[in-house]
Structure 1
Amino acid sequence: MEKLIKTINGLSGGCEVYGVGGFARDLLLKRKHEDIDLAVNKNAQKFSKKLAVSLKAKFVILDDKNKIYRIMLSKDYPVKNIDVSLFDGKTINEDLKNRDFTINAAAFKLKDFASYKKNLLTVNNKVLKDLKTKTIRAVSDNIFKSDPLRMLRAFRFSAELKFALSKDTLSLIKKYSSSVLNSAPERIKNEFFRILSAGNSREILEVMDKCLLLPALFDAISHMKKASKKHYYHPGGLFEHSFETMSAAENILNNLRKYFPENAAELKEHFFKTGEYSENITRANLLKFAALFHDSAKPETAKKEGAKMRFFGHEDLGAKKISDVMKSLKMGKKEISAASFLVSKHMRPSTLTKNNIVTKKASLKFFRDIEDNTPDLLILSMADWHSYKKLKIHSKKELKFQEDSVRKLLKEFYELKNKKPLSKIIDGHIVMKKFALKPGPWIGDLVNLVLEKQYEGKLADTAAALKFLDSKLTQIKKKYKL
């Protein structure tokens, strides 16, 4: 770090360069920092480009209007990024007064890095006190008016730092909550999913809801809150059930070793690895997001049959609704597809296990249909069941059976996944030639029938596979009217 700071100082030329915001905060908290935040009095873009060239890094314009730039460093450096901004005001003191929260309103001349504590500048006498008491406090009453996204940033800091928001700041957020959508969708997405990445996102979202931020962010949540409570088991209605499902999913993800001792390591890798989706998105926080919206279409599909309420088709409509929500946040196609798939299939695990017996054939078909989303869907189903624990809707025996079924299916899934790939004894071309069939979905059905028998260890070569398919041909032709 010292070497990098020395390089930056050597390139500063006639600029005043200050370490600010999260950089100063994390130094004071003795936290590992991923980024270096700098503020300069002039030539922010010129200085940033000079840094990028010298450090052989990528230069990115974050906000050209407000003169904010990023230098993305390689893995050879102790931090990921250097963010450079022009003073928000004529001096560093004015800049600090325009920052969001007191914990971020500290600065030091970068040339004083070795003795930054002695040369620390703060916006007021609450900065060090708030860092000590772990309090997030608005610098002024106008911070959310000038940038509504700061409301989400407040809760993201709360989640990541384990700090609490001051009462005055919570009141301000409640006052300005309706303006949150005036922020750029991409920025909302990044902050919200960083909140969901925390292991304590349940308690953070609970406070956000009390400040009216959740219904302001998502119309779907507003509609869930307005849905008639008489159709649902939870006293708080549909939203309480959805929130409890998200909370249960978080609890399971936080305790994988407890719930899945045999597959905990594989599940941890599956849910928390990065790079599969866009920045700040993992399977873990995507699962929590899906859990929050999995039943969002129940109000539109509610229909009474005798003494019971039914919600036929709520899975498919719910998949469309969560897709619309994610599109409004400018999310990527891959993560939209994954979340909507989970919502569309969230009833399937319970349907699979309802008869207390899951045959080998049935589990293989399930794995083939759900593929790599199998762990996600099974844990979503388990969380759905757990959401009723406090209400005691299900007996302990029923809950135990459901948990045991999920554990068994996950164990089978990973056993199959880790097995040596099956030898390819048949393919579509062989099937079409042998039975004089044209291309179509029936070819996939026939090939899958062979795969199922292969997994069961009942077919070993092409001749046996074709003989088996010959016995199934009439059934497939009848199904597709061939």
Structure 2
Amino acid sequence: MASDLASIALEIARRLQTRGHAAYWVGGCVRDLQLGRQPQDYDLATSARPEEVEALFPRCLPVGRQFGVMVVIEEGHPFQVATFRTENHYTDGRHPAQVAFASAQEDARRRDFTINGLFYDPVKGELLDWVGGMEDLRLRRVRAIGPPEERFAEDHLRLLRAARFAAQLDFDMEPATLQAVRHLAPAIRKVSAERVRDELKKLFHPGCAARGLAWLERCQLLGEVLPEVAALAGCQQDPLYHPEGDVLEHVRRMLRALPADANPLLPWAVLLHDIGKPPCQEEDAAGRRHFHHHERVGADMTDALCRRLRFANEEREILVECVRSHMKYHQARQMRRSTLRRLLLRPSASLELELHRLDCTTTGRDLANYEFLQAARQQLEAQPALARPLLTGKDLLALGMSPGPAMGRLLREVRDKQLHDELNNYEEAMNWVRQRLQEGGASGPNPAGANSKKCPES
């Protein structure tokens, strides 16, 4: 796929050049090629005006015509094709008040970082570097083009992008650029939640998540974008269970242990699983620290954080459930079979198991509990029929039950018996329900057991 994209991007440049226009690959694709990495997309810059680009390519979207930006669709793939331009008079920390078409050199100098300011002519095989990007690639550093504070004032998101590129590429940051990021860090709050979220997702990709956290700290951005995580610093834990140190150090170590191919939500589960600890910390008479109910408080905090950053609802729900349930796994071997199976059948279970594994390995605990959980999960996978309840409300309606709490309680009991291997198929479940209804066990306040004792009235 990537080689196909390169071939298509080459043909776009060739077509533009054939009509007398300058045309280059620009930005991240050039940087990645110089680093020996495979680009995921290709952007082009050209002397052609938007209307000339539109005339050359039948499928063309004017996504930013006023800025000279068009998207060319070739063989079903989008390629951004932008006219060389300069920008000035930024009034809102993102949008320029004035845009003028310009030369390729001027276009390079308006970009954010030198490593993103490289141009490459794929037709001639010629690299063009007007900003010192190749030297910074050799030195493995992120450096702003021109005065750093001016670049960051133009678009405040660049503050976060500087940290993200340093983390992704495992580069250092040029001192003046780092100083400017630190000085202007509070300005990141002016950037829309969606743009911040998208940068953070890239920064906390499993392959670079630990470096991402380190760079947010080093750039003094962590408290600006994730204050709940920043608050973990200095929150000391009981050394009996957490000899590694405070909660933030615990998180750092878990991020370092992330597999590069992990679920993209796993770094977020790591970051957020203990954010309820600072507001819940207590110290008993013996001087031991406790964090009672931190998972419940943390789940509420995670919900608020995900809403603030405009996470997709499905992602938010999974992360909230991970935080709420992560302590349950430590008691797995004491659970009833049905309770454990309910836990492992939830959509978030695979993510929670990985979170539990990281939690154990980074605190010096053995993996016996994790291995027990994995064995239980493998047993469930060998019994796919357990994934779905034997009965639904429709089945009970067909037996003459009325909708209401009693029906819900009876369905839960059937499900419990199914997960406990006491009911194995539809017929067994229906026969059991019929018997319960005949005994009147589903009509009272406690249909789960007709012979159970009633609680005394208070």
Normalised TM-score (structure 2): 0.78
- Pick closer, same or farther for the CA change 1:427–1:94 going to 2, 3 Å: closer
1:87 and 2:85 equivalent? yes
Question: What is the aligned counterpart of 2:410 among 446, 465, 469?
Answer: 446
- Pick closer, same or farther for the CA change 1:9–1:285 going to 2, 3 Å: same
Match of residue 68 from structure 1: 69
Matches within 5 A, 1:1-400: 1-2=6-7, 4-10=9-15, 15-41=21-47, 43-44=49-50, 46-47=51-52, 49-50=54-55, 54=58, 56=59, 59=61, 61=63, 66-71=67-72, 74=75, 81-88=79-86, 90-108=102-120, 112-117=121-126, 120-124=127-131, 126-140=132-146, 141=148, 142-225=150-233, 228-229=235-236, 233=242, 237-248=246-257, 250=258, 253-254=259-260, 284-307=263-286, 308-353=288-333, 355=334, 358-368=335-345, 371-389=346-364, 394=365, 399-400=366-367
Structure 1 position 203, deviation (Å): 2.5
Deviations 1:215-240 (A, max 9, x none): 12122123333x65377756753322
Deviations 1:355-378 (A, max 9, x none): 3xx55323222234xx22111112
Matches of 2:173 and 2:194, distance apart in 1: 24
Structure number with greater CO (CA < 8 Å, separation at least 6) is 1
Q: Which amino acid aligns with 2:112?
A: D
Runs of at least 5 residues in structure 2 that lack an aligned partner in the other structure: 1-5, 88-101, 451-458
Q: Which amino acid aligns with 1:380?
A: L
Q: Which amino acid aligns with 1:299?
A: P
Q: Which amino acid aligns with 2:341?
A: L
Matches of 2:274 and 2:312, distance apart in 1: 22
Secondary structure, counterpart of 2:292 in structure 1: coil
Matches of 1:480 and 1:448, distance apart in 2: 10
Q: Which amino acid aligns with 1:177?
A: A
1:430 and 2:395 equivalent? yes
Secondary structure, counterpart of 2:369 in structure 1: helix
Query: Do the aligned residues in 2 keep the contact of 1:34 with 1:81 (CA within 8 Å)?
Result: no
- Pick closer, same or farther for the CA change 1:448–1:235 going to 2, 3 Å: closer
Query: Do the aligned residues in 2 keep the contact of 1:40 with 1:87 (CA within 8 Å)?
Result: no
Secondary structure, counterpart of 1:70 in structure 2: strand
Query: Do the aligned residues in 2 keep the contact of 1:159 with 1:198 (CA within 8 Å)?
Result: no
Match of residue 378 from structure 2: 411
Secondary structure, counterpart of 2:347 in structure 1: helix
Query: Do the aligned residues in 2 keep the contact of 1:36 with 1:83 (CA within 8 Å)?
Result: no
Query: Do the aligned residues in 1 keep the contact of 2:274 with 2:294 (CA within 8 Å)?
Result: yes
Query: Do the aligned residues in 2 keep the contact of 1:342 with 1:377 (CA within 8 Å)?
Result: yes
- Pick closer, same or farther for the CA change 1:460–1:188 going to 2, 3 Å: closer
Structure 1 position 22, deviation (Å): 2.0
Q: Which amino acid aligns with 1:123?
A: W
Secondary structure, counterpart of 1:114 in structure 2: coil
Q: Which amino acid aligns with 2:105?
A: N
Secondary structure, counterpart of 1:115 in structure 2: coil
Matches of 2:207 and 2:386, distance apart in 1: 36
* Larger of the two Rg values belongs to structure: 2
- Pick closer, same or farther for the CA change 1:457–1:301 going to 2, 3 Å: closer
Secondary structure, counterpart of 2:165 in structure 1: helix
Secondary structure, counterpart of 1:224 in structure 2: coil
Matches of 2:274 and 2:252, distance apart in 1: 10
- Pick closer, same or farther for the CA change 1:178–1:427 going to 2, 3 Å: closer
Q: Which structure has greater helix proportion?
A: 1
Normalised TM-score (structure 1): 0.75
- Pick closer, same or farther for the CA change 1:409–1:421 going to 2, 3 Å: closer
Which 4+ runs in 1 deviate beyond 6 A?
Answer: 421-424
Matches of 2:299 and 2:53, distance apart in 1: 43
Matches of 2:237 and 2:348, distance apart in 1: 33
Aligned length: 421
Matches of 1:103 and 1:39, distance apart in 2: 16
Q: Which amino acid aligns with 1:410?
A: R
Please, what is the CA RMSD of the aligned residues?
A: 3.5
Matches of 2:382 and 2:266, distance apart in 1: 23
Matches of 2:387 and 2:204, distance apart in 1: 38
Matches of 2:197 and 2:391, distance apart in 1: 45
Matches of 2:357 and 2:213, distance apart in 1: 21
